Amino acid sequence: MKKILNTPEGYVDDMLSGIYKAHKDMVAPVSDKLRCYHAVKKTPGKVGIVTGGGSGHLPLFLGYVGQGMLDGCAVGGVFQSPSAEEMYEVTKAVDGGAGVLYLFGNYSGDILNFEMAGELADMDGIKTCIVVGNDDVASAAKGNESVRRGVAGIFFMYKCAGAKAEQMASLEEVKILAEKVGSRVRTMGFALSPCVIPEVGHPNFTVGESDISIGMGIHGEPGIRVQSMMTSKEIAQEALDTILQDMPFQPGEQAAVLINGLGSTPLDELYILYNDVAQILEQKGIDVFKVWAGEFATSMEMAGASISVLRMDEEIKALLSKPAHTPFYSNPQL
Amino acid sequence: MKKILNTPEGYVDDMLSGIYKAHKDMVAPVSDKLRCYHAVKKTPGKVGIVTGGGSGHLPLFLGYVGQGMLDGCAVGGVFQSPSAEEMYEVTKAVDGGAGVLYLFGNYSGDILNFEMAGELADMDGIKTCIVVGNDDVASAAKGNESVRRGVAGIFFMYKCAGAKAEQMASLEEVKILAEKVGSRVRTMGFALSPCVIPEVGHPNFTVGESDISIGMGIHGEPGIRVQSMMTSKEIAQEALDTILQDMPFQPGEQAAVLINGLGSTPLDELYILYNDVAQILEQKGIDVFKVWAGEFATSMEMAGASISVLRMDEEIKALLSKPAHTPFYSNPQL
């Protein structure tokens, strides 16, 4: 294992210390609890949005805390859920009197802890509710959506729910909007290499030297199959066939597209992939509203990428276009 | 070699096709010449700024073409200079009547071709001048700055020169400003792994499995030395000692800091490194104006990072703070 760090045990806390130092105008820990991360700016009367999950996925999760997106994040160890207590601390810090939406990926540890945090918050009179991202089409068959994992597509849920909350919508309205966006986004990922958890020191799984793992999760969860490396065109075709079969488009509908790098995949390759994605979508008569390419949900130094497609409507289009500004993501108002 | 591509020969053109499709509202090729890349928006009377260089370094170079930064870029093959003809085509496309600044990294092939492009432009009555970035302290000793390579620190030159040109400064004024910023920025890099040129198919150089190459260039140029892997603190200490010995700070001066990932280094590690950088700068009494952490000048999937330090003054501070918006970098006006 070769990583830039001081000790494997300090990986998460040293990273958090660096982020707080670098962006102290925008984010801060809740009363010196490094893993309870929240935006410096608080808007009274606005619904708070809190996320959380394991570390190792930057910018996911904490990277979306900031203006126009999320209000706080409970930060776990690498690939580990944060505690209910940490989630509760963040909840208290961000509540502006209008309640708090818990918006995070569909993993059982996170769900259990967020449910417990919600009970603690309830005793303080803070209303909370839960919406999970479950966009990974490769993780369970159609009809079984409730057990699908949440991956990069949650970016769209964060962006739209954050913009909705900024419009001073109610907790119920922000929840309904987040669920709508979640129901309209699908992601398919593929991995070319494993990654190393710092405290473990070696890969927990492998991908053969000439292989691609189709549908592998961002913690190395097994995907649909492993096969010989494919071309960009073949990857794009399989991902879009799978996504569009799962979520058919009506004629004339628009899509937003997210080409997400898993960690060590160069930006060049993400745009090569998008070039093929765009050609296939054009053949299918689907118009692209906007595309994002870069690292949005990683698995440390894993190689590979994911393709997310969001079915647009007018409300989603307007919310995606609103400005946002966090230390890790900016959508400028021009 | 495992890369997301269709053919190694198509790597650069497929990447460019993807970028033009993804960001057609912002950038376009000059009359279908894919490798002549320019911003869609043109401001008459503004000094144009053109860069260029080999591919494989995204967001460098083309990623900084857009509002508030650069106007065009000539795009070479992976690690190869673009042609003088391509530079000349971009020059004609971006000239708004006030002349064009060529601002690029200090590599001999690029210099020769930009000089030739300038001669061609001169025959069309377009005035040009050249400023090169040579921020890599590890590439030549003090006193020999003119042969130092240009690396990530050129980001600061792009940002400030772009903002200066937007203020409708003259070509001479933009040139002087770019030179000033260049004279105040130093970078030190280190590599943990090699990268693979697609058309070669295997690494052109190696870094031992437990080693770090201090001062290695972004094309794998040999650095100062190779040694056993260091901790983040040790790396930060050596880089800052080298930079600050080369460019001493006066008491009370501020610095801007860029922590740049070379390709496959997770964001987590860049912030761990910044945590150490910040502590050392604080000990030395240097105040950090702002820090950028992420991928700004890469070497495809190379692992490693670089640390750049920019000595601030009031003019640079103001220019750094101006808004910018490109497909790869945004500095929002809030």
pLDDT tens figures, B146-180 = 999 999 999 999 999 999 999 999 999 999 999 99
State whether residue A144 is helix, strand or coil.
Answer: coil
Compare CB distances from A235 to B4, B265, B323 and report the shortest one's residue. Answer: B4
Structure tokens at B4: 């997301």
Compare CB distances from B271 to A18, A67, A263 and report the shortest one's residue. Answer: A18
pLDDT above 90: percentage of residues in chain A: 96
- pLDDT, average across residues A280-285: 96
Q: Is the fold of A8-183 the same as that of A185-331?
A: no
- A167 backbone dihedrals φ, ψ, rounded to 5°: -80, 10
Per-residue confidence (pLDDT) for residue B332, from 0 to 100: 83
Test A271 with B22 for CB contact under 8 angstroms. Answer: yes
A219 is a catalytic site residue? yes
Per-residue confidence (pLDDT) for residue B1, from 0 to 100: 86
- pLDDT, average across residues A319-331: 95
- pLDDT surpassing 90 at residue B205: no
Q: How confident is the model at residue A233 (pLDDT cuts 50, 70, 90)?
A: very high
Contacts of A303 in chain B (CB under 8 A): 2, 264, 301
Ordered by start, the domain boundaries in chain A are: 8-183, 185-331
- pLDDT surpassing 70 at residue A150: yes
B57 is a catalytic site residue? yes
Among chain A residues, CA nearest to B294 = A328
Q: Which of B92, B24, B103 is nearest to B61 (CA)?
A: B103
Test A210 with B2 for CB contact under 8 angstroms. Answer: yes
Test A56 with B323 for CB contact under 8 angstroms. Answer: no
Q: Which of B326, B313, B320, B308 is nearest to B149 (CA)?
A: B308
Compare CB distances from A18 to B3, B266, B272 and report the shortest one's residue. Answer: B272
- Interface confidence, given as ipTM, is 0.98
Is the distance from CB of B37 to CB of B302 less than 8 angstroms? Answer: no
Structure tokens at A21: 């130092």
Is the distance from CB of A302 to CB of A264 less than 8 angstroms? Answer: yes
Q: Output DSSP code: residue B115.
A: H
Is the distance from CB of A294 to CB of A308 less than 8 angstroms? Answer: no
Per-residue confidence (pLDDT) for residue B44, from 0 to 100: 97
| Bridge partners of residue A105, in order along the sequence | A133
Is the distance from CB of A221 to CB of A139 less than 8 angstroms? Answer: yes
Long-range interactions of A211-214: CB distance < 8 A, separation 24+: A212/A304, A212/B2, A213/A304, A214/A138, A214/A188, A214/A190, A214/A238
> Among residues 33-52 of chain B, which lie with CB inside 8 Å of chain A?
none
Homologous superfamily assigned to A8-183: Dihydroxyacetone kinase; domain 1 (3.40.50.10440)
Instruction: Convert the pLDDT of each residue in B207-238 to its tens digit.
Output: 999 999 999 999 999 889 999 999 999 999 99
Is the distance from CB of A129 to CB of A175 less than 8 angstroms? Answer: yes
| Residue matched to tokens 């690690």 | B79
Length of chain B: 334
Write the DSSP assignment of B255-315 as a string of letters. EEEEEEE-BS--HHHHHHHHHHHHHHHHHTTPEEEEEEEE-SS--TTB-EEEEEEEE--HH
Per-residue confidence (pLDDT) for residue B203, from 0 to 100: 92
Per-residue confidence (pLDDT) for residue B53, from 0 to 100: 98
Cα distance between residue A184 and residue A192, in whole Å: 27
- pLDDT, average across residues B300-312: 98
Mean of per-residue pLDDT scores for chain B:
97
Long-range interactions of A17-20: CB distance < 8 A, separation 24+: A17/B275, A18/B270, A18/B271, A18/B272, A18/B273, A18/B274, A18/B275, A18/B278, A18/B293, A19/A62, A19/A327, A19/B271
Q: Which of A158, A214, A215, A218 is nearest to A185 (CA)?
A: A158
| Residue A278 contacts B where some CB pair is shorter than 8 Å | yes
Strands in A192-328 per DSSP E: 211-214, 225-228, 254-261, 287-294, 304-311, 324-325
Fold of A185-331: Hypothetical Protein Tm841; Chain: A;domain 3 (3.30.1180)
Length of chain A: 334
Is the distance from CB of B253 to CB of B293 less than 8 angstroms? Answer: no
Q: Which of A221, A246, A229 is nearest to A151 (CA)?
A: A221
Q: How confident is the model at residue B252 (pLDDT cuts 50, 70, 90)?
A: confident
- pLDDT surpassing 80 at residue B333: no
- pLDDT surpassing 70 at residue A238: yes
Mean of per-residue pLDDT scores for chain A:
97
Signed CA dihedral, A93, A96, A98, A102: sign only: negative
- pLDDT surpassing 80 at residue B11: yes
Q: Which of B59, B65, B64 is nearest to B261 (CA)?
A: B59
| Residue matched to tokens 């966006």 | A181
| Bridge partners of residue B73, in order along the sequence | B37, B51
- pLDDT surpassing 90 at residue A96: yes
